[in-house]
Amino acid sequence: MKPNKLKIAEKIFYRNLDCKFLFEQNPHIGLCVSGGSDSMALVMLMNGWIKKKYGKITIFHFNHGLREESDFESKFVKKFSKNLGFECKVIKWKNNKPRSAIMETARNFRYSKIIEECKKKQILHLMTAHHYDDSLETFFMRSLRKKKYFGLSSIPFKRIHESLQIIRPLLNFKKRKLEEICKFYKIDWINDSSNFNLFYERPRIREKLKNFSEKKLDFLDKQQKKNKLLNENIEKKVATFFVSNLKYYENG
């Protein structure tokens, strides 16, 4: 990636954050970092943004303990965070691992533990590195299951969990662009072996999409955007209905 292209990517990233989300003064942001190229690129982009806002970053890394390299990955992220001057909290999954639905269980447990840590540190905004490719994969995966309405809107830019705003600022960035950002900064990243394990659904979906023509991928992208817009309109109508027709009383 050339310096001018990086500047453009940073400008788009900063503009998206400043236009789409509200932050407190001198914000304290939590970042979920696995060590993959997408989350490492997120850290580098946020490194520039947080300095402009005179804020603070805490990095969260979840050690699932599912692979031999899990401990190495934790040390890798911890060292990377230290070099940038960021606090890094490594959380280990010490519970017994389930025999089925392990990816979904791991994701739910990971979120619950990181959210707990955010509450302790009074962090109001948590960011994950989900990107364009993830969103398209999720949309295609759900469309194969015949999901409708909200399921087909794919990954949202943000969701609210009590007082915590979970933000995914990279949804307009393709994975190859994030890898280019890492290469520009001369940053190594980890390739999670589970991403290539066809036992899991997402790697199988990813392999299918690799064989799609540009025309077919473009059609899928348009369908995703169409459904997203449809869902946003439904949400507005529902919100307008409740605001217009419901009254809140002190006792419920």
Confidence of residue 250 (pLDDT cuts 50, 70, 90): low
- The H-assigned helical ranges of 121-166 are 132-144
pLDDT in tens, 24-41: 999 999 999 999 999 999
pLDDT score at 236: 80
Question: Any idea what the Cα angle at residue 197 is, between residues 193 and 133, rounded to 5°?
Answer: 80
Residue 150 has pLDDT above 60, yes or no: no
Residue 106 has pLDDT above 90, yes or no: no
Confidence of residue 94 (pLDDT cuts 50, 70, 90): confident
pLDDT score at 128: 97
Average pLDDT for the chain: 89
Question: How far apart are alpha carbons 53 and 48 in whole angstroms?
Answer: 9
- Quote the DSSP letter at residue 166: E
Q: What region, left, alpha or beta, does residue 88 occupy, with left being phi > 0 and alpha being psi -120 to 50 degrees?
A: beta
pLDDT score at 89: 97
For residue 151, which of 88, 224, 206 has the smallest C-alpha distance?
A: 224
When computed from its CA atoms, the radius of gyration of the chain, rounded to whole angstroms, is: 19
Residue 3 has pLDDT above 60, yes or no: yes
User: For 181-202, what is the mean pLDDT?
Assistant: 87
Question: How far apart are alpha carbons 210 and 213 in whole angstroms?
Answer: 8
Got the DSSP string for 7-68?
A: HHHHHHHHHHHHHH----SS-EEEEE--SSHHHHHHHHHHHHHHHHTT-EEEEEEEE---ST
Question: How far apart are alpha carbons 246 and 239 in whole angstroms?
Answer: 10
Confidence of residue 247 (pLDDT cuts 50, 70, 90): confident
